[in-house]
Amino acid sequence: MTAPRGSVKGTRPATLEDVAREAGVSRALVSLVMRQKPQVSQERRSRVLAAAATLGYRPNAMARSLASRHSNTVGVLLNDLHNPFFAEITDGIERVARDRGYRILLSTGSRKRGREEAALEAFLEYRVDGLILVSTLLSAAKISQAATLAPVTLVSHTLRSPAVDSVLTDDVHGAELAVTYLIELGHRRIVHIDGGRNPGSRPRRQGYERAMDAAGLEGLVVPGDFSEGSGAEAAGQLLKLPRLPTAVLTSNDMAATGAMDRLTEAGYSIPRDISIVGYDNTSLAQLRQVSLTTVNQPREEMGRLAMQTVLERIEGGRTEAVSHVTAPTLVVRRSSGPAPA
């Protein structure tokens, strides 16, 4: 019986020894060929490669990383796979990784700290060369501990440590842009749906409060957590107020779509009765049916910067911390308009 490709006698994956036996050469020579070393004749190289193809041999990445102390792999921990913001950040990370010959390992904490801690431990067990933590809920102590084992870059978050780099947006300014725009449209009763403990929510709340204070307006912050469900729940609370606000700034686009759904279900027209502004400018906001006015974060650029930054430590040995702060912009669509008379 012929063994399946990639195994020997159908029991295990092919090894260097199996390839050496098939090609009639030494294990050391097979190792040289697999590492693309020049000191091998073309005839023997061809024999080894043919044997490897016959057996379906694949190099053992973990063993190779143990020998070289490099895995050419970066672990990427995402807060929530349901939010397109994280997919768009990952696009930027992956582009740089591909160009530089690195692979990425993806995991998510599903907005739960315990799951993030487990994913972080798994990355370290796989001996990744570096870590990119996107909107993480991990404690400062956990992040600092990980940074003693591998270079760490945070996205949408920062930590005062010389061993940890960061890439983020000026969220205070982003929220100020949104509130100032709504005030210019004549809105005075502007509510903010908060993002809870999520990274970025505090500076967005600060920007909202600063812009409202500067205009002499009284603000109202309603709790949320970056999810559609929290946006819908917060909108339900607004419907119980004696007077409905004329505009809402949400903590992100997911919360905005949840709020829009709840308000339209209650019979209100957007933006005729109430304007909605999101945050992130994800692909969700750009859908024609949603057409959400939102604060743009340059997601792919942030991903590219994150990967470039972690590689500077992996390949260049940089020791001082760097922080890249990208500039937000306001993207106006159909979900916002003048305050109702």
Spatial distance between the Cα atoms of 76 and 318, rounded to a whole number of angstroms: 20
Token couple for 48: 């080894």
pTM, two decimals, is 0.81
Spatial distance between the Cα atoms of 189 and 172, rounded to a whole number of angstroms: 20
| % of residues, the chain, pLDDT over 90 | 73
Strands 12-13 and 7-8: antiparallel
C-alpha distances in angstroms, 39 versus 27, 36, 43, 121, 151?
15, 9, 12, 40, 34
Checking if the pLDDT of 5 tops 50, the result is no
Segment 287-307 shows an average pLDDT of 97
Spatial distance between the Cα atoms of 180 and 208, rounded to a whole number of angstroms: 9
pLDDT at 65: 53
pLDDT band at 11 (very low <50, low <70, confident <90, very high): low
Per-residue pLDDT tens digits for 23-43: 899 888 887 877 677 778 888
pLDDT at 1: 38
| % of residues, the chain, pLDDT over 70 | 93
Q: Which residue has the higher pLDDT, 197 or 295?
A: 295
pLDDT band at 62 (very low <50, low <70, confident <90, very high): low
Separation of first and last alpha carbons in the chain:
83
pLDDT band at 324 (very low <50, low <70, confident <90, very high): very high
Q: Which residue has the higher pLDDT, 90 or 81?
A: 90
pLDDT band at 184 (very low <50, low <70, confident <90, very high): very high
Q: Which residues pair with 331 in a beta bridge?
A: 294
Checking if the pLDDT of 3 tops 50, the result is no
Segment 121-132 shows an average pLDDT of 92
pLDDT band at 17 (very low <50, low <70, confident <90, very high): confident
Per-residue pLDDT tens digits for 237-257: 999 999 999 999 999 999 999
* 271 preceded by a cis bond (ω within 30 of 0): yes
pLDDT at 180: 98
The structural domains of the chain, ordered by start, are 7-59 (1.10.260.40), 69-169+299-326 (3.40.50.2300), 171-298 (3.40.50.2300)
Whether residue 101 contacts residue 72, with contact meaning beta carbons closer than 8 Å, is answered with yes
Choose from 10-14, 48-52, 188-192 the range with maximum mean pLDDT.
188-192
pLDDT band at 10 (very low <50, low <70, confident <90, very high): low
